Structure 1
Amino acid sequence: MPAPSPHRVKKAILPVAGLGTRFLPATKAMPKEMLPVVDKPLIQYAVEEARAAGIEEIILVTGRGKTAIEDHFDHCHELEHTLRERGKIEQLATVTAIMPQEGDIAYTRQQAPLGLGHAVWCARNLIGDAPFAVLLADDLIKADTPCLKQMVDAHAEVGGNMVAVMDVPRAETSRYGVIDPGARRGRLTEVRGLVEKPAPEDAPSTQCVIGRYILCPDVFDALSKRTTGAGGEIQLTDAIAEQIGRAPFHGFAFEGQRYDCGDKLGFLKATIAFALERPDLGPGLDSFLKSLAD
């Protein structure tokens, strides 16, 4: 096996071209990644997690109708001027704190909805020859140490490809990529195989991949074949599976609570969980929830 890569993970791809059909009609004119959990859009949580992991350049793979995401990470001079004139310094700081430095965020288009693997492939020319991260904003992870930071630290020791994994009920394996686990060391599990959305009776385990990845750039060679998999789409997990045996591959059992914000119930759970931790909202919300149980 090759030695761990000497390169630190500095770039992250955030695929945000999806249509968000499960949230219609809310997402008819608004990107699903702009749906707010409390008062912050999903995409901002993902960008903040990437920054906390030491990511220096963020690449957003967008599509038609996603300009609101670009605008969110840009200055709004009229709003900033109004807040400044009215002395609303705290709110001004809130909207300017999310601004990236010039050149720290880039955008490229996925021109056809051909799957997650295709979306990642669309950013190939912006990555270079170092390992990179992929974050899916739909997967919101509440953790004391951000999930990607946990993974970056572990990756520095083992290199290769790494995916975040969690245990799910066997009946739900058909919704995920599922690993065939090998030797386990702490939170790391060797991956011997990877299957996308297997039927429960065919799943090699119940250890499923969620939306955090650290990948070697060699994955683009597999993605360039444009081979379709489950759902007739170009699957990222299929391309990663092709690298097994060529580079170390580990599943990382992260510490924290994952919320599937691509699902309505998961989105509601995340909103409640994050709001309960807010000193300005938690007590009132807790009281309200208890009143519903009475």
Structure 2
Amino acid sequence: MKVRKAVITAAGWGTRFLPITKAQPKEMLPLVTKPLIQYSVEEAINSGIEQIVVITTLGKRAIEDYFDRSFELEYFLEQKGEVNLLKEMRELSSLADIGYIKQKEQLGLGHAILTAKEIVGKEPFAVLLPDDIIDSKVPVLKQMIEAYEQYKTNIIAVERIARQDTVKYGIIEPEKISGHIHQVLGLREKPEPAQAPSNLGVVGRYILMPEIFDALEVTPPGKNQEIQ
């Protein structure tokens, strides 16, 4: 079955970026001329995704407003003769079919993904974490979808990191299959360098089979009562 849907998680408090994230969603912080979340939306679109679900929470209405049409702004730009800006605003609001789900409690990435169960249904789907901006000639998600089409299983993105940085990542125990494809034999969360099974750290891109929802529903909360 084709990967048509993507979940973008945007419900975290952004505590590492306080105090700015007290008033501004972390996902709306600018990187050059765009907010962080737009890079994930564009990556999804350029990878063939047809429907996007953004997981938000209270206080993040700015994300919805950003991707929605503003007829008042369009009228103002039209009256001012700002043709190029008007075109850009209309293109922004028609980027993709985007829906929103509010996560009432921030109970971890696994819980955020679980809130999308009804919309995702019984299809494989992508997950993108907008914190991770990955500059790649071929979108990383597109490469992952191609791998999924070959292997028909869960796919996660990893990157080579400095050995001393393993304490910041989930680290996989890999078995090389071919090229840049590895089978994941195990995963350790933020191990000390001496205990790390490799220097391949997980980054915020996933292709998941719908069976993940069954697993998440019976996964007990871990640290900070979060489901990961």
Matched, 1:49 2:46: no
Matched, 1:97 2:108: no
Matched, 1:193 2:190: no
Task: Give every structure 1 segment of 4 or more consecutive aligned residues whose post-TM-superposition deviation is greater than 3 Å.
Answer: 229-232
Instruction: Assess, with a 3 A threshold, how the Cα gap between structure 1 residues 199 and 230 changes in structure 2: closer, same or farther.
Output: farther
Aligned to 1:31: 25
Alignment of 1:135-284 (within 5 A): 135-230=128-223, 232-235=225-228
Q: What letter matches 2:201 in structure 1?
A: C
SS at match of 1:98: helix
Gaps of 5+ in 1: 1-6, 236-294
Percent identical across equivalent pairs? 49
SS at match of 1:164: strand
User: What's the offset of the Cα at 1:231?
Assistant: 5.1
| Structure 2: distance between partners of 1:230 and 1:37 | 31
- For 1:65-121, what per-residue CA distance to the aligned partner results, in whole angstroms no more than 9, with x for missing partners? 01000011101111111111111111111111122478x211111111111111111
Task: Tell me, yes or no, if the aligned pair for 1:173 and 1:200 is still in contact at 8 Å.
Answer: yes
Instruction: Assess, with a 3 A threshold, how the Cα gap between structure 1 residues 101 and 81 changes in structure 2: closer, same or farther.
Output: same
Q: What letter matches 1:77 in structure 2?
A: F
Matched, 1:80 2:74: yes
Instruction: Assess, with a 3 A threshold, how the Cα gap between structure 1 residues 122 and 11 changes in structure 2: closer, same or farther.
Output: same
User: What's the offset of the Cα at 1:148?
Assistant: 0.7
Aligned to 1:121: 114
| Structure 1: distance between partners of 2:104 and 2:167 | 27
SS at match of 1:141: coil
Instruction: Assess, with a 3 A threshold, how the Cα gap between structure 1 residues 171 and 195 changes in structure 2: closer, same or farther.
Output: same
User: What's the offset of the Cα at 1:234?
Assistant: 1.1
| Structure 1: distance between partners of 2:178 and 2:151 | 11
Q: What letter matches 1:163 in structure 2?
A: I
Q: How many residue pairs end up in the alignment?
A: 228
Gaps of 5+ in 2: none
| Structure 2: distance between partners of 1:231 and 1:183 | 34
Aligned to 1:132: 125
| Structure 1: distance between partners of 2:51 and 2:193 | 38
Instruction: Assess, with a 3 A threshold, how the Cα gap between structure 1 residues 152 and 10 changes in structure 2: closer, same or farther.
Output: same
| Structure 1: distance between partners of 2:94 and 2:84 | 19
Rg larger in structure: 1
Task: Tell me, yes or no, if the aligned pair for 1:16 and 1:33 is still in contact at 8 Å.
Answer: yes
SS at match of 2:48: coil
Task: Tell me, yes or no, if the aligned pair for 2:147 and 2:155 is still in contact at 8 Å.
Answer: no
TM-score by length of 2: 0.95
| Structure 1: distance between partners of 2:106 and 2:120 | 21
